């Protein structure tokens, strides 16, 4: 995943909209990724934050199904507890993300 991510980023350095999509993808997978049901966390930003970890298990927290187009078009605030997350089927699904859909 990270190798493909890097290659796609380098190939699209001059396309700011693609770089923004990659930022969103990274944010909602590597940094704030959630997988499976019941909720399991794998994102470094969740794991490294006591507040974020507690927040993810709060029943009031919004967790959407992972849909690549929605993730790519979403935004985030990096200085606050996340307002929502995306749940992906598992790490195999992360590794299987097709970067051809990011353009």
Q: Where are the domains of the chain?
A: 2-6+16-89
Q: How far apart are CA 5 and CA 15, in angstroms?
A: 15
Nearest to 66 by CA among 44, 45, 37: 37
Say what the alpha-carbon torsion angle 29, 7, 103, 100 is, to the nearest 10 degrees: -80
Per the CB < 8 A criterion, the answer to whether 90 and 39 are in contact is: no
Taking the chain (103 residues) in consecutive chunks of 10 residues, what is each chunk's mean pLDDT? 95 97 97 85 94 94 96 94 94 93 92
pLDDT tens for each residue of 49-75: 999 999 999 999 999 999 999 999 999
The whole model's pTM is what? Answer: 0.92
Nearest to 92 by CA among 31, 43, 35: 35
């Amino acid at each position: 995943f990270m190798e493909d991510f890097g290659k796609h980023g380098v190939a699209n350095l001059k396309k700011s909209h693609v770089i923004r999509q990659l930022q969103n993808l990274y944010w909602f997978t590597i940094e704030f990724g959630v997988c499976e049901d019941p909720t399991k966390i794998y994102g470094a930003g969740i794991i490294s934050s006591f507040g974020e970890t507690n927040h993810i298990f709060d029943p009031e927290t919004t967790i959407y199904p992972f849909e690549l187009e929605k993730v790519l078009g979403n935004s985030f605030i990096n200085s606050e507890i996340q307002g929502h997350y995306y749940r992906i089927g598992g790490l195999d699904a992360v590794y299987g993300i097709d970067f051809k859909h990011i353009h």
